[in-house]
A = this chain, B = another copy of it.
């Protein structure tokens, strides 16, 4: 039972379990083994940087979910989960990163003992924290069970945020606004990139409006010039120079809830190509966000964006956005809905996305992106950061 300040009241967790079990029943599952740290947190409140060893939340069709992990992390579970201490099970440290024996064999025994009638088990087959070896060891330990890939089952229950979750996401939005403001305040030619990133990080963790900042599930991406033709480079000690764009793809985070937002900074005069790109992106964004409303499909947003952008002579590769919320490294996306052609998911009130109309050009990148909430009758941009190139 949580002895630290819990993130949510117990009834919210119980409602989440009920929603998840309804879906499990629909799919004919007896048991779900969740290893995604975000799903573990969402179901139980568990928090801790312990996902580098094998751990899971086990959810049967009744009773408390079971937190299972390394024995030393069971103490962290006792301090963060809503369940009783009986629902927490730790395994011996000799199973940690030991090629001779796999902790999933222990989990098999636990499942046999606590859920003797479970036969149809859902697992998150394509999750970072469910390795091929983990799956093999669990299958071997439970030879009478059948396993089913349910990688998105819990993630999909998370798409519509509760009012309590929106409180945290709105705090995260305040934080990312403050981070972007800090960039504009301190950036100048000659400043080493890492010194600027240090300022961004300080602001992000110091927080905003008196609310504390948590660590982001993706580190700041802050490439300049040619490095910004590649989307996922982080930073080094190279000084900022005039005449090239630097984009900052960062997130404010509060209690693991993310508000990601990117802006692009130009020191000095902006080349015409980037002014044209800015105009095209902003126009296409406006058109696309009109399509981001309940009842429309995810692909409608992408198609509206791409059509407008292409008419302006620009092309975008990749998704124009994705669902976000509670998250742990290495990804702040929820890995459910993407704004891309073919994604037929129907938008609903309470869904939160990172609308992500980044362009990577031949000599740099431009990112002006927004965390957005689908409302009862449209869309809300969660940040008030000015939607434009930052020029200084």
B201 contacts A72, C-beta separation under 8 Å: no
Q: Report the Cα distance A338→B98, complex, angstroms.
A: 9
In the complex, A370 has a CB within 8 A of chain B:
no
B133 contacts A126, C-beta separation under 8 Å: yes
In the complex, A375 has a CB within 8 A of chain B:
no
In the complex, A297 has a CB within 8 A of chain B:
no
Q: Report the Cα distance A237→B203, complex, angstroms.
A: 14
Contact pick for A202, options B50, B132, B201, B340, CB 8 Å: B201
B194 contacts A206, C-beta separation under 8 Å: yes
Q: Report the Cα distance A149→B231, complex, angstroms.
A: 32
In the complex, A317 has a CB within 8 A of chain B:
yes
Cβ contacts A200-235/B at 8 Å (1 or 0 each): 011111110001111100110100001101111111
Query: Closest chain B residue to A318 by CB distance?
Result: B93
Contact flag A205-B197 (CB < 8 Å), given A126-B132, A134-B132, A233-B79 = yes
Chain A, interface size: which category? 35 or more
Cβ contacts A59-95/B at 8 Å (1 or 0 each): 0000000000001110110111000000000000110
Would you mind naming 23 contact pairs between A and B with Cβ atoms under 8 Å apart?
Answer: A4-B227, A48-B230, A49-B219, A52-B128, A75-B231, A75-B360, A79-B226, A79-B233, A80-B233, A93-B317, A93-B318, A96-B319, A97-B322, A97-B338, A125-B136, A128-B129, A128-B131, A132-B132, A194-B214, A195-B206, A198-B201, A198-B204, A211-B237
| Additional pairs, 20, CB under 8 Å, beyond known A97-B335, A194-B214 | A4-B227, A47-B234, A49-B232, A52-B331, A72-B230, A73-B230, A75-B230, A80-B233, A99-B151, A99-B152, A125-B133, A128-B129, A130-B131, A133-B151, A135-B135, A194-B213, A198-B201, A212-B235, A212-B237, A214-B236
